Structure 1
């Protein structure tokens, strides 16, 4: 692996470690999303806590965290497998953020952002899939799981050279949703409308 590839992987992780949800909640005077609502610092939980504006800004920055490093790596001519590692690194930064005590989100938006520079058609198709499933179910985690599960298939059909990176991202996102999968299996997963605030005690400083 070249020094340039390693540099881009590290850059992707550090950029991914900037938690958009926590920063937006602080800017808008909202509770820490790690300790309220679902406890997940992501756009869906920010929506529960503060409504569409902070949630939309969180979503935008989460997408950019995946898009920027992959786009840079693509323009630098790095091969598809390295682009996959860069994308996974950005998602790992989102899930385990260095700057926020490694308490991060599910990385769905970051993963979608990572696909835009190299497979825009596939990314748009995944967004449409997410919207349709969420519109029917009103369960964000179910929409995310179905969407990322279809990502390798869409990649194989649209841009086969990115099938392996899509598999890498899908595996990571599915693993991150393992607790949601258990709740879905037992019928206890809540949707956006019926979710209730969950007061958690923040860690002692």
Structure 2
């Protein structure tokens, strides 16, 4: 069995790799690559799919959504395959932190919703699918991305327990808290009735 030091080194390695994967700013790169402009000067200034959609390119927004989700999922799946469940959950957490606070962008990243969903799908796919359906249902009814995000995040720990994945409860709870913190201003606008709807510039 590996000793405590080697186990700690392995976890640290996957924490770093998860962060690096999560910190790839796909939205920014896609927008620049397609000549859509600098996302920092568009809409909310965010680097996520919702703000990419404000450029008018649904394809770019969809690609950003898929890639941001994929980087979270890949971090979890690679860590689980090579180092086990604990490393997988840690890599998922740091991938989320990497997306929200990328060192390459002065720690000014996205809000992590797509990455959160990708992590949930990789950690416990039944709960991940339930979170995605919760997002879709809320977005379809309210047409407000931030409301869908915080609703999906809030539901994650419930789905994890109900669908038999309680070992990931702590990760789900921490990610939910982080999603809420990243959406503080959105919550204020929701209360004021001024939060923009999906696709609104």
Could you state the TM-score of these two structures normalised by the residue count of structure 2? Answer: 0.91
Query: In 1, distance between residues paired with 2:127 and 2:169?
Result: 11
Please name the residue that 1:203 is paired with.
Answer: none
Please name the residue that 1:166 is paired with.
Answer: 172
Counterparts of 1:1-205 in structure 2 under 5 Å?
Answer: 2-80=8-86, 82-158=87-163, 159-193=165-199, 195-196=200-201
- Of the two structures, which has the highest relative contact order with CA contacts closer than 8 Å and spacing of 6 or more? 1
Q: Give the alignment's Cα RMSD to 1 decimal.
A: 1.3
Query: In 1, distance between residues paired with 2:101 and 2:83?
Result: 28
Contact 1:84 1:166 in 2 (8 A): no
Query: In 1, distance between residues paired with 2:187 and 2:118?
Result: 23
Query: In 1, distance between residues paired with 2:123 and 2:100?
Result: 22
Pick which of 10-19 and 83-92 moved more: 83-92
Contact 2:42 2:54 in 1 (8 A): no
CA deviation string 1:11-60 (max 9, x = no partner): 11111111011000011101111221121111011111032111111111
Contact 2:15 2:90 in 1 (8 A): yes
Could you state the TM-score of these two structures normalised by the residue count of structure 1? Answer: 0.90
Q: How far did 1:110 drift? A: 0.5
Contact 1:84 1:168 in 2 (8 A): no
Contact 2:146 2:186 in 1 (8 A): yes
Q: Which runs of 5+ in 1 are unaligned?
A: 197-205
Q: How far did 1:77 drift? A: 4.0
Q: How far did 1:85 drift? A: 2.6
